[in-house]
Structure 1
Amino acid sequence: MRERARASVDALEHLVGGLGTAVMAIAALFWLLAVLVLCLGGVGLLLVPGTLRIVRSVADRERGRLSRWGPDVLAPAPVPDRAMIALRDPAVRRELAWLPIHATFGFAVGLFGLGLPLTAVQMMTFPLWYTLVPPDGAPGLVWWNIDGLPDAIVVALTGVLWLALLVLGGRWLARVQAWPGRRLLSPAPGTDLTLRVAQLTATRAAALDAHAAELRRIERSLHDGTQNRLVAVTVLLGAARRALARDPAAGAEMLDRAQQAAEQALAELRTVVRGILPPVLDDRGLAGALDGLVAGCALPCRLDVHLPARCAVSVEATAYFVVAEALTNAVKHSGATSVTVSVRAEQGRLRLTVGDDGRGGADETGGSGLAGIRRRVEAYDGRFTLTSPPGGPTTMDVELPCGS
């Protein structure tokens, strides 16, 4: 039941998002029609390229919305500057076909989806205020007169049916609303995938940068910590060997110091190894590893994990380090009083959200480790989104492909 409710809220969010892009599509459609009228007099021809770019902007917003809730919808090449060349572009034609469909059908589906919970709440609470309205003033689709409390309870039961419709059919409505966009805004079959190649090239470069940065971190850890400890052990052992013959007590003291230095070097080496791939991931899985991570957080932290199956080891390690870095940032920089961590596996994607109630204003260029998180996520063809307005709160959303 809890999963069903969560899916209903998710579907409602999809529908409301689609309603927002549909409103933008309506505005763009009216402007397009106005330009077509001006073209009859020849004046509107100069406005065609800019109008097509407006349509492209609205279509890109819809592509971004669809990509957040499912497989990526790639954007095509920029709209050509010359009107005739732009109108011959298959991507532009598909966007022009999508625009009126989404402005009408998408708007109607989104409005209906938004109205479902509002109507359900209004009708379910009707017995509480039915005496304040005339007999023919019942909400929703109620056509009969309300003569008393029994009739008002019937209206409330009708509201339960509306709520059930949202719970059972919300995801279907969201898919129906998204279908024209996925059909018309996706690259046509056989389309040159140069943009995808460029995206993968950038992702590969980010992966190499992240790998190089990780190697530098490991090298610094070994050079600055473990290597110095081992050099100290070697020096102390040499001094102890020379001192044993003439001063056994001093030699024994040096051996004790050498043993302590060796133990410290071993501990630092173990820390470096854990930083490469925490053993707790193998022992307890991602859920158990995150549970131990938030338990050691200096701030009160609420963890919500739903992982029906294990993800790839590299993906789990990335998710673990993202949460660890995010919690460290929250403790050091946010001034927050609490943190929430949510991890879910849905539709082949690992979705991770870390939020805090701090002062906000987080900046990737501020040296807080956020840029490193982005590089690590994008190296796995994932998505990183940071929302941190001044005054807070701060929310970090991460999506990773959950392959096995």
Structure 2
Amino acid sequence: MSSPEDAGSVGRPHDAKPLRRLARSARYLLGGGLAGLHGLLVLAFLVLVAALSLVGVGLLLAGTASGLLRRWCGAERGRVGRALGRRIGSPYLPPAPGAGPARRIADGTLPRDLAALLQRIVVGIPLGAVSILVPVLSVQALALPAYWWAMPDGKPAEQFFVITSWWLAAASGLIGLAGLAAWWFAVPAVAAADAKLLERLLAPGRDQELRLRARMEEQRRRSAVDLHSAELRRIERDLHDAAQNRLVAVSMFIGTAQRQLTTGKGDIATTLAKAQDASRDALAEMRRIIRGVYPPALAEEGLVPALGMLADRMQIPTRLHIEAPAPTAASVDAALYFSVAEALTNVAKHSGATTCDIHLTWTEDHGDMRVITTVTDNGHGGAEPAKGTGLSGIESRIEALGGTVAFTSPPGGPTAVRMELPCES
């Protein structure tokens, strides 16, 4: 049974519908031709910038040229990945603070990007043209005998050669059949070979993969440090602004009761009752802070029941969907719990939604178990992370454990936050 990715790939011999595979392959080659024409414009701009750099002016456009080439490669990476039925990773390092165009150009990806650009121009444009011309000319060759038959007597017809007899007309028909047969069998194989060649140029090389892993590990450590610092600041703020104030109130009431006991003036019982109420408030606040460090429900019941409690406390009807649960580390449970809690808070405050869904799916990826959590609402959408929707805190928690976060919120909705984490972190 083939996966959805397989169904969208080119040149797969096990495809149950050859006609659909042929159409996908022809569409891929035609898209390659159009990408080659676009690549010609990109190449012309790169050559112009390189020429202007000899006099210093082009250096001002180096960043624009580099970004243009990378966007072209990114589009091709997505197109080729869809054709092959698998995702092609980006070889580019995450932008370092203060990194300029020279840093981006010197990261080792420029030669491979230029090779992919030239390959698409030199190979992609001819293949795209051939993928269109061969079937068109073959159909014309097949139709030529009927055209010659309809011509007045003694008047020839011309396609690849002048037709003046039925023998030549039959030869034209055979040429048309041969062209269609060659197109039928060759297009999927050529498309698959072209996609795999381009994948080798667009996918990260071994050195680039090592650099990417090093940068991702550095970013992960930075996220972990930032998250830890933010958590310490939050706990300090909660202790200072809430628990400390309530303990000060307890101390003040006890001091007042002592003075009343010494002077014999005032209602000591009322003051002690106020002190007792203040101590209860302080105890409740301390419990709230402790739950914010690691919720007791999470420690005692586990991730799924704890998320169920979050869903039950939502004012908006919220459903929890679980698929193939597997054990996860305590750090993963905590990261997902607080991330889902933050996402649900955003839904309640900003989305205007009437329903919300939480999906948890455990899946195996190359022998490693991963948990994928998605929070979706049917609100009005249009949310932007830059405007303080809390996504930055979610990203810090998830990325600190080597996970990824994807956020979609088109105008009109729905809004979805997708978090993916390894089960062991």
TM range (shorter): 0.5 to 0.7
Equivalent position to 2:416, from 382, 395, 400: 395
CA offsets per residue over residues 213-258 of structure 1, 9 Å max, x none? 2222111111111001111111211221222244487222222211
Q: Tell me the CA shift for residue 283 of structure 1.
A: 1.3
TM-score, normalised to structure 2, is 0.60
Partner of 1:89: 111
Shift of 1:301: 1.0
Residue 52 (structure 1) shift: 6.4
Residue by residue over 1:302-341, the C-alpha shift from the partner in whole angstroms, topping out at 9 and shown as x without a partner, is 1101253221111111111111111111111111110011
Within the candidate set 81, 87, 91, 1:75 is matched to 91
Deviations 1:138-160 (A, max 9, x none): xxxxxxxxxxxxxxxxxxxxxxx
Matched with 2:287 is 270
Say if 2:8 and 2:82, in contact at 8 Å, map to a contact too: no
Q: Which residue of 2 aligns with 1:199?
A: 216
Q: Residue 242 of structure 1: SS of its match in structure 2? A: helix
When the two structures are superposed, what TM-score results if normalisation uses the length of structure 1? 0.63
Q: Is the 8 A contact 2:91 2:205 kept in 1?
A: no
CA distance in 2, matches of 1:319, 1:260: 35
In the TM superposition, 1:291-302 aligns within 5 A as 291-302=308-319
Please give the residue correspondences for 1:93-108 in structure 2 after superposition, counting only pairs within 5 Å: none
1:33 CA drift (Å): 8.0
Which residue type is aligned with residue 322 of structure 1?
Answer: S
- Does the 8 Å CA contact 2:115/2:201 hold for their aligned counterparts? no
2:225 and 2:328 map into 1 onto residues whose CA distance is 22
Amino acid across the alignment from 2:344: L
C-alpha separation in 2, matches of 1:206 and 1:367? 18
> 1: distance between equivalents of 2:220 and 2:81?
18
Aligned residue number for residue 352 of structure 1: 373
CA distance in 2, matches of 1:270, 1:315: 22
Q: Report the secondary structure of 2:206's partner residue.
A: coil
The amino acid that maps onto 1:301 is T
Matched with 1:165 is: none
Structure 1 residue 351: Cα displacement: 0.7
Q: What secondary structure is seen at the aligned counterpart in 1 of 2:78?
A: helix
CA distance, structure 1, for counterparts of residue 25 and residue 266 of structure 2: 81
| Count of residue pairs the alignment pairs up | 314
Distance 2:272 2:33 in 1: 83
Q: For the Cα contact (< 8 Å) 1:64–1:73, is it kept in 2?
A: no
Q: 1:373 and 2:390 equivalent?
A: no
**1:347-396 deviation line (CA, Å, top 9, x unaligned):** 32211111111111111122232222222222222211111111111111
Paired residue secondary structure (1:399): strand
CA–CA distance in structure 1, aligned partners of residues 244 and 116 of structure 2: 62
Which residue among 28, 37, 43 is the counterpart of 2:32?
28
Query: Quick one: structure 1 residues 183 and 273, their matched pair in 2 at CA, closer, same or farther if it must change by over 3 Å?
Result: farther
CA RMSD of aligned residues (A): 4.6
Contact 1:244 1:250 in 2 (8 A): no
Q: Which residue does the alignment assign to 1:214?
A: 231
Larger radius of gyration: 2
Q: How does 1:29-48 map to 2 (within 5 A)?
A: 29-32=33-36, 46=47
Contact 2:380 2:411 in 1 (8 A): yes
Q: CA deviation at 1:76?
A: 4.0
